[in-house]
Amino acid sequence: MEKWLENHKIRPLDAGAMDICRKKWDSIAKPLHSLGVMEDDIIRIAGITGKPEVSLDKKGLIIMCADNGVVEEGITQSGQEVTALVAENFLSGQATAAILCKKTGADLFPVDIGVAVDTSLINRKIAYGTRNLAKETAMTRAQALRALQVGTELVGELCKKGYKIIATGEMGIGNTTTSSALACAFLHREPAEMTGRGAGLSTPGLQKKIQVIQSALALHLPNCRDALDVLAAVGGFDIAGLAGVFLGGAVYGIPIVIDGFISSVAALTAKMLRKECADYMLASHVSKEPASGIVMEALGLRAPLHADMCLGEGTGALTLFPFLDLACEVYTKMSTFEDISLEAYQPLT
């Protein structure tokens, strides 16, 4: 079963398509690279798809929803029941991400990959929440692998339906704790540096959260053989599912947009499992969580948006869609220097 991780082929980005795309940008009648990251992202998408003609006309958001047993330790402001309540609101259109999806023209795919109760969401439930990582591994190695497969399979399904780009989101009370624990484990950082207040912890609550993560890492890491073991020990089904989405982007050649801290840790998890998949990711924004910039640096990505967002659900990733749509509009419709009989700009030496 674990051969699944190794058997999927991930091709390098298409250098030829990227070169054609870059040259087209340089031919457009404006100063060279004057749209900055807008140009870089379109070039990257050309490399991901293997096509210099970039179209993002069919967009999707996958939200992985799951509960985390570590909430038993009192490290959250909200109760576990909030996960299911918010998750159901994705279907009713009342959640923030649902409203943003409607405005940005993205289709919403909320997935129950491990909510503690039954829901009306797309059912890919691995279990009714993870175990308490403060006392035992959050999930088995087989469960972690299955969650990865769920994410990858969903990307394959959307790819067959013609989706051109996928944003990532999550919902799960306690998942900033699992994200911080994974980030510490993968990047060899201390919990005090990588742990934030999540949805709004008090200072004593934050200190308890840090202590729980410290204890969990001390308990589990000595027994971890690889990244999959780390994910199983201190991760969550939502993070594992999203890591699978990032893997799926690389397998099926479709760009996957990172949301905030939790989504970026899922992206980091995917990179730890298959480093090649990092080329298929696009950063959206830098979250308010303290470790967000550190994780983004580890991914080798630069997020264009700095808006102090920390809501989750994919809200930050969705804000990148209008940014990319504007870039595509210029890329496909603006006149070239040749069109207007103007001498092209030359690179400065």
The structural domains of the chain, ordered by start, are 3-8+57-323 (3.40.50.10210)
Contact 269, 179 (CB under 8 A): no
Contact 72, 60 (CB under 8 A): no
Residue 295 pLDDT? 97
5 has pLDDT over 80: no
Q: Which of 39, 313, 329, 338 is catalytic?
A: 313
Residue 347 pLDDT? 77
What whole-number distance in Å separates Cα of residue 55 and Cα of residue 325? 9
Active site residue 157: no
pLDDT digits (tens, 9 = 90+) for 198-233: 767 788 878 999 999 999 999 999 999 999 999 999
Residue 341 pLDDT? 79
Taking residues 279-286, report their average pLDDT.
96
Sign for the CA dihedral angle at 231, 232, 234, 237 comes to positive
Taking residues 132-148, report their average pLDDT.
98
Mean pLDDT, the chain, whole residue set: 94
Helices 237-252, 175-187: axis angle to 10 degrees equals 60
Contact 298, 187 (CB under 8 A): yes
